[in-house]
Amino acid sequence: MKLKVLDLFSGIGGFSLGLESTGYFKTNSFCEIEDHCIKVLNKNFKGVNIFNDITNLNLMPNDYDVFTGGFPCQDISIAGKNKGIDGEKSGLWKEYKRLIKQGKPKYAIIENVFALLGRGLEIILQDLAEIGYDATWTLYDTRYFGKPQRRRRVYIIAVRDGIPADSDIFEVGLRDLPTSKPMLESFNKGFRWDFKEGEGDKHTFTFVTRQRSNEFKETGLSSTLAKRDYKSYVDLVLQNGIIRRVMPEERMLLQGFPSDWLSDCGLTKKEKFTCNGMSVPVVKYIGELIRKFDIKQSSPIGSSFFSDGKYRFLDDNEKKSYFKDGGCEYESIFSVDCLKSKEDYVNLIEG
Ligand SMILES: C[S@@+](CC[C@H](N)C(=O)[O-])C[C@H]1O[C@@H](n2cnc3c(N)ncnc32)[C@H](O)[C@@H]1O
């Protein structure tokens, strides 16, 4: 059965799109206050319940397995008001914390800007510990996930039932040269991005930005997309000799959404430029990490664990294995030797 998700501060639903694409999660409710975002959610997640203001939301324990939330970053972000996690907007973290305490989800995923590292991460980790949650965190940059956008974000995974000392949910231990190769390849592919299709290929482009100064810089990488006044010339692209704004459809593609995500929602041009959301491939990757962790944590004693989600048990002579499915036992065609040589074979419990 899929893990039930409550997507808080839903925006246009990037968290839900990324998590649902793993096949392991299903969003049962959103919580979003802005009307134009609600229109986008209604179009793309038909029939899913939407709560409005988080400050009025109250929950029963265990109605949801997973909470997600990129709480407002205005007071934390370098471009913002600098009031930190107690500021008027970013202070909504306290509401998120209140709901985790009330709803007791198995997992909570928290996202925010890079500046959180120096402006509040320790408070969030302390808050989570105070309500009984273990937590682990990392920093991911969208440009390493196949989209040519520099977007560094802090991701925290909080776990109700504890994180065993030998767990490495974010797989930090795998960050060495050989295992990082596929990521770096996807990074390089990102630089040959087709602005129209939203995919890497031989087309080249120049992204020019004056996000934090009056100087334009030429780079193949988009700067971090943020809420924009569509009248300002901030994110520009030079393609085939023509300089123009990055359009809302392209902003969607740079975030890993389908290009028509905002179509037919009745949004004004101005509203379309305020939508940016999560980077979908990054969220999907995090969903897969949680899936792997969740399957392993809930596997029965004596089972061996596969990353595709199947448990295997060894028979007495340890030459064959069998697996259980829906209470029935089936003999497996794989010998133990074969299992040991499989790459996705994570943990063989012998004897
Ligand atoms: C950083 S954005 C989240 C982006 C989102 N995860 C996405 O993929 O689009 C924060 C969101 O919180 C919403 N928000 C702000 N105050 C809120 C409140 N009191 N209750 C519910 N949502 C709120 C904002 O409208 C905004 O869409």
- Ligand 1 pocket residue status of 127, Cβ below 6 Å: no
Q: Work out the average pLDDT over 223-236.
A: 74
Name, in order, each residue with C-beta under 8 angstroms of 50's C-beta and a sequence gap of 6 or more: 10, 29, 30, 31, 32, 38, 41, 42
Band of the pLDDT at 79, cuts 50, 70, 90? Answer: low
Report CA-CA distances (Å) from 130 to 104, 169, 230, 284, 321: 13, 21, 42, 29, 43
36/3 Cα distance (integer angstroms): 27
User: Would you say the CB of residue 32 lies under 6 angstroms from ligand 1?
Assistant: yes
Cα-Cα-Cα-Cα torsion 243, 278, 92, 65, nearest 10 degrees, comes to 170
pLDDT above 50: residue 346: no
d(Cα 172, Cα 342) in Å, to the nearest integer? 22
Residue 162's pLDDT is: 96
Residue 277 CB–ligand 1 contact under 6 Å: yes
Atom 12 in ligand 1: which residue has the minimum CA distance?
9
Q: In this predicted structure, what is the pLDDT of residue 345?
A: 46
CB 282 within 8 A of CB 190: no
Cβ pair 64, 5 in contact under 8 A:
yes
Please tell me the distance between residue 143's alpha carbon and the centre of ligand 1 in angstroms.
Answer: 23
Question: Quick check: CB of 12 below 6 Å from ligand 1?
Answer: yes
Q: How far apart are CA 351 and CA 348, in angstroms?
A: 10
Q: Is 146 in the pocket of ligand 1 (CB under 6 A)?
A: no
Residue minimizing CA distance to atom 11 of ligand 1: 9
For helices 93-103 and 121-130, what crossing angle results, to 10°? 20
Q: Which positions ≥6 away from 102 have C-beta within 8 Å?
A: 58, 59, 60, 61
Q: Select from 7, 8, 9, 282 the residue to mutate for testing ligand 1; criterion: most ligand atoms less than 8 Å from CB.
A: 9
Residues 6+ apart with CB under 8 A from 174: 168, 180
Spatial separation of the C-alpha atoms in residues 6 and 315, rounded to whole Å: 41
pLDDT for 139-162, tens place per residue?
Answer: 999 988 888 888 999 999 999 999
Which residues form the catalytic set?
73
Q: Quick check: 33 pLDDT over 50?
A: yes
**Cβ atoms of residues 340 and 348 within 8 Å:** yes
Helix (H) or strand (E) run with residue 185 in it: helix 177-190
Distance 108 CA to ligand 1 centre (A): 16
The string of DSSP letters for 234-278 reads: -EEEEETTEEEEPPHHHHHHHTTS-TTTTTTS---HHHHHH----
Q: Which of 8-12, 102-106, 110-114, 224-228 shows the lowest per-residue confidence on average (mean pLDDT)?
A: 224-228
- Cβ of 265 below 6 Å from ligand 1: no
The single-letter DSSP state of residue 299 is: S
- Can you give the pLDDT at residue 199? 82
Residue bearing the bigger pLDDT, 9 or 120: 9
Q: Which residue has the least CA distance to atom 26 on ligand 1?
A: 11
**Alpha-carbon distances, residue 67 vs 48, 94, 206, 345 (angstroms):** 15, 14, 38, 29
Structural tokens at position 149: 């956008």
Lowest-confidence pick of 126-130, 189-193, 220-224: 189-193
Residues contacting 253, CB < 8 A, separation 6+: 147, 195, 197, 198, 259
Percent share of the chain, pLDDT over 70: 80
Residues 6 or more apart in contact with residue 127 via CB below 8 angstroms: 93, 97
Task: Tell me the backbone φ, ψ of residue 346, rounded to 5 degrees.
Answer: -90, -45
- Confidence bin at 348 (pLDDT 50/70/90): very low
Q: What pLDDT shows up at residue 235?
A: 81
* More confident site: 213 or 277: 277
73: pLDDT strictly greater than 90: no
Per-domain boundaries in the chain: 3-180+277-296, 186-274, 300-347
Q: Answer whether residue 242 shows pLDDT above 50.
A: yes
Q: Which two tokens stand for residue 80?
A: 């913002």
Any ligand 1 atom below 6 A from CB of 31: yes
Q: How far apart are CA 336 and CA 206, in angstroms?
A: 53
118 vs 210, more confident: 118
Comparing 290 with 346, which gets the higher pLDDT? 290
Distance (Å) from CA 156 to ligand 1 centroid: 17
Average pLDDT, the chain: 84
| pTM value > 0.85 | yes
The CATH classification of domain 3-180+277-296, taken from the options 3.40.50.2300, 3.30.950.10, 3.90.480.20, 3.40.50.150: 3.40.50.150
* Mean pLDDT, rounded, for 281-301: 88
pLDDT (0 to 100) of residue 324:
64
State the pLDDT at residue 315.
Answer: 59
Q: Ligand 1 centre and the CA of 89: distance in Å?
A: 10
